Amino acid sequence: MTSPKPLVAGNWKMNGLLANVSQMTELNQLISDGGANCDVLLCPSTTLISSLLEAGAGGKVMVGGQDCHANVSGAHTGDISAEMLKDLGCSYVIVGHSERRADHGETSADVNAKAAAAQTQGLKAIICCGESDEERSSGKTLDVVLEQVKASIPQDAKNSNTVIAYEPVWAIGTGKVPTANDVEEVHAAIRTLLIQRFGEEGALIGILYGGSVKASNASELMGVQNVNGALVGGASLKAADFYGIIEAYK
């Protein structure tokens, strides 16, 4: 392997009821009819994980969690551990999404501990980073993103247990996307950091772009150097929209 295998990951956030489980069946059907040249993942709310796994059994689409606790078990009401996600059949978990950082005050140290917990359980951690609008306009993008990656990524990160997702906060759910050049600059800086820190293995860790990815901009964004896939919110809720993004890799 000389470069990371692309991954198109959907994050359903706090959306989806049992009625939406059919999207999994539809997505696997679209993939078996039309193909997919990338790994495909859906991260629904915890309530839907088992149903999506059941509906997707035998298909290509993997299932992951949206967050996990740093501890294996204990008195943490409302939380879910990496071991529980693994036990259900998940293969990935998103950690440090900007909505968790903002809504729950998660620091990069917290994210690091969550990612390490996920890796210990054999889950692949999707570690999110990204600058705010204000940080971008004041020219701090690279400093902020690199600091987040440095502090959030556990020591023994490698291709088999880690993916980075660069998601500018101002691009999430807004319909705004950075220019291809801006995406390239940030992904190149993350790649350099990964190689400095992990040597050759750093070249193999996938770096996803996320923030208002949709079928109409996916080919351009996925064509940028060092972009190894997408983390998709809104456009992952409907199988047909999501498949339109997966098709960027056909």
> Distances in Å between the alpha carbon of 240 and those of 36, 44, 91, 136, 246?
13, 17, 23, 33, 10
Measured in whole angstroms, the distance separating CA 50 from the mean position of its chain's CA atoms is 19
Q: Annotated catalytic, 167?
A: yes
Considering the complex, what minimum distance in angstroms separates the CB of residue 103 from ligand PGA? 12
Q: Which of 99, 131, 135, 167 is catalytic?
A: 167
Per CB under 6 A, 168 contacts ligand PGA: no
Given 205, 231, 246, 248, the residue binding ligand PGA (CB under 6 A): 231
Q: Is 172 in the site for ligand PGA (CB under 6 A)?
A: yes
Q: Does 167 help bind ligand PGA (rule: CB under 6 A)? A: yes
Catalytic residue (choose from 97, 99, 131, 247): 97
User: Pick from 99, 96, 94: which is nearest to 169 by CA?
Assistant: 99
Give buried/exposed letters for 220-243 (b at 16+ CB in 10 A, else e). ebbebebbbbbbbbbbbbebebbb
- Among residues 198 and 239, whose Cβ is nearest to ligand PGA? 239
Choice between 163 and 231, CB closer to ligand PGA = 231
What DSSP letter does each residue of 193-250 carry, written as one string?
HHHHHHGGGGGTSEEEEESS--HHHHHHHHTSTT--EEEESGGGSSHHHHHHHHGGG-
**Of 220, 248, 238, which Cα lies nearest the Cα of 42?**
238
97 is catalytic: yes
Judged by CB, which is closer to ligand PGA: 81, or 212? 212
Taking CB under 6 A as the criterion, the residue among 210, 228, 246, 248 binding ligand PGA is: 210
The yes or no reply on residue 233 touching ligand PGA (CB under 6 A) is yes
Q: Does 211 bind ligand PGA (CB under 6 A)?
A: yes
Binding region for ligand PGA (CB under 6 A): 11, 167, 172-173, 210-213, 231-235
Catalytic residue set: 97, 167
